[in-house]
Copies of this chain bind each other. A is one copy, B any other.
Amino acid sequence: MNINDLVRGILNGDKRSIARAISIVENSDDEQRKNIIDKIYDYGNSKIIGITGPPGVGKSTIIGNIAPMLSKSGKISILAVDPASPFSGGSILGNRIRMQENLSKYDIYMRSTSNRLYEGGLSEYSWDIIKILEASGSDFIIVETVGSGQSDIDIMNVADLTCVILAPGLGDEIQAVKSGMMEIGDVFIMNKMDREDAYISIKDIMESLQISNKPNTPVIGLNSLTLDNYESFIDFILKWNGKNTERRNIRKIRQIIIERIFTTYSVYIESVDKNKLLGKNPYDIADDIMRNLDGLKNKYLEK
């Protein structure tokens, strides 16, 4: 398949083309990624919905429930971001397989991507994958993060609407959530409203939002067994108009630059005498490299 056929396939929403393009983006070099993105950049207009929250609160269940409901209002794609740390991989995968089976009757494209070791947060290429899903005609792109580590906070730089999912009975964890997660959520969802302690937990979150100077942030309770109150959440999503394109693009520019500079920087590091490296203070070596940025640039442009 040549690149024009591939792009045509993406723009027509052909799932094989989408999958192929995402694989290229994940596994090829910068030049090939740029090639695809250049051709699709101007297409599409998706609402990007970030779903985050601690493990075990029911994120996958909620996505499995809202995706079919939202599909009445437009085309849905789902991107699930797996953690770089393998410690929490197993159970998540199981949930996602169940979700995928659930969604197979709707015309919903679902994809997983791993976040990488170094650059933190979401997958280095989540921006590109989202762009492909957008160009393929998605009206809503749901991005799920794993609820452990940096992707949970990075999601606010990517999504147009960030939903923090919580559940009663998180114990100690709720304190931690309160200290850091209040600022990233555009809406807070309390799942498992069938539980006795659910209303106290909602009250708790509302108080924390008050303290965090976000008293008007909505808190929505959901019962995922009965689907009680799901229509409020769907309604909120449909009415949400915030766009985050600028922040999303700045984040991506940063990632591209890091990658390019380190492609050339790695060449430099390789060429440094290892004995010199061991004896010398890293701050001094970094100074040397900064002084030689011209050389680095030329090496990059030669490529």
- Report A's interface with B, CB cutoff 8 A: 33-34, 37-38, 41, 53-55, 83-91, 94, 117-121, 127, 147-150, 152-154, 171-177, 179-181, 245-246, 249-250, 252-254, 256-258, 260-262, 265, 269, 274, 277-278, 281-283, 285-286, 289-291, 293-294, 296-297, 300-301
A34 adjacent to B283 (CB under 8 Å): yes
A257 adjacent to B85 (CB under 8 Å): no
B153 adjacent to A150 (CB under 8 Å): no
Q: Which of A37, A89, A154 has the most CB of B within 10 A?
A: A89
The chain B residue with its CB closest to the CB of A285 is B253
A176 adjacent to B86 (CB under 8 Å): yes
The chain B residue with its CB closest to the CB of A256 is B286
State which of B253, B269, B283 has its C-beta within 8 Å of the C-beta of A37.
B283
Q: With A87-B152, A87-B181, A94-B172 given, can you name 10 additional A-B contacts, CB distance below 8 Å?
A: A89-B173, A89-B176, A90-B172, A90-B174, A90-B175, A117-B120, A120-B120, A246-B278, A293-B294, A294-B294
* Chain B hits for A175, CB < 8 A: 89-90
* Chain B hits for A33, CB < 8 A: 283
B89 adjacent to A245 (CB under 8 Å): no
B181 adjacent to A257 (CB under 8 Å): no
A260 CA to B147 CA, complexed, in Å: 30
A252 CA to B258 CA, complexed, in Å: 15
Main secondary structure of the interface of A (DSSP, over half): helix
Smallest CB-CB A-B distances: 4 pairs:
A149-B149, A86-B180, A90-B172, A89-B176
A89 adjacent to B179 (CB under 8 Å): yes
Shortest C-beta distance, A299 to chain B (Å), equals 11
Shortest C-beta distance, A268 to chain B (Å), equals 10
Shortest C-beta distance, A127 to chain B (Å), equals 7
B278 adjacent to A245 (CB under 8 Å): yes
* Chain B hits for A83, CB < 8 A: 148-149
* Chain B hits for A54, CB < 8 A: 87-88
State which of B127, B150, B257 has its C-beta within 8 Å of the C-beta of A120.
B150
* Chain B hits for A283, CB < 8 A: 33-34, 37-38, 256
* Chain B hits for A55, CB < 8 A: 87
A282 CA to B38 CA, complexed, in Å: 10
B173 adjacent to A87 (CB under 8 Å): yes
The chain B residue with its CB closest to the CB of A248 is B282
* Chain B hits for A53, CB < 8 A: 87
* Chain B hits for A297, CB < 8 A: 290-291, 293-294
A253 CA to B286 CA, complexed, in Å: 6
A293 CA to B290 CA, complexed, in Å: 10
B127 adjacent to A85 (CB under 8 Å): no
* Chain B hits for A289, CB < 8 A: 253, 257
The chain B residue with its CB closest to the CB of A91 is B172
